[in-house]
Structure 1
């Protein structure tokens, strides 16, 4: 794959942030990355940092992704963001999330998709799938019942950083 004259190490069609389901497979043969992902770990599920590696909060994540040259990417760009569902409990919280979304697109962001489920619920769903058959999650460009996903993918979704506004 070539982006702006640079050939990537993986000779596959696709691009960062495309939601390619083979990211676990490719991660096994890919060295460490600047975001702190270790060699052999699953690649990021979207344009954001590898799971659990974004340390500057949701605003930092969205600002960084908005700066990317999206027009140079050969495919759609996916950005998965896991937010604490408590953010939508109040009118002020809803307003803050709406402002965050507006700012992302005003700065050049192209796409956002949210998971609004907390870590405790995901862990319980993994242990007791029969109690959570209707729990839907954003995976990477698509949504699926959490309990239908294989263990590695469930673990990856659990590992995504859960953001609170103001952090």
Structure 2
């Protein structure tokens, strides 16, 4: 299996979008891109940890490619709003791609450039950052919308 890590606002909706994507075998929500070790949801939301709410995606590249996952990523949020998605405001809601290797970095940069030129009028603020560590969110956040019967 391959792994992709994206941040696109509140992780519940992003998790749902990727969970329903063919070729995705597992989606977990958590925190990445910050400086605090083992952060809690409360710390990420109310302290300056620097983390983004993110999803870690396992996928079968025989069914879906990383490039195709990037298209899903762009379609599930507004990448032109800095540290905001809808009513959610804060650094934890930023748009970010966390690449695991140079191939992912290159594909992310190419995809961002294409989307910027064709769809988003050169207004994308999505960061593309080397992945460091992913902290799994608390259990009650995992499959939150599914638990509520929202899919």
The structure with the largest strand share of the pair is 2
Query: When the two structures are superposed, what TM-score results if normalisation uses the length of structure 2?
Result: 0.35
Structure index of larger Rg: 1
Higher relative CO (Cα under 8 Å, sequence separation at least 6) belongs to 2
User: Normalized against structure 1, the TM-score is what?
Assistant: 0.33
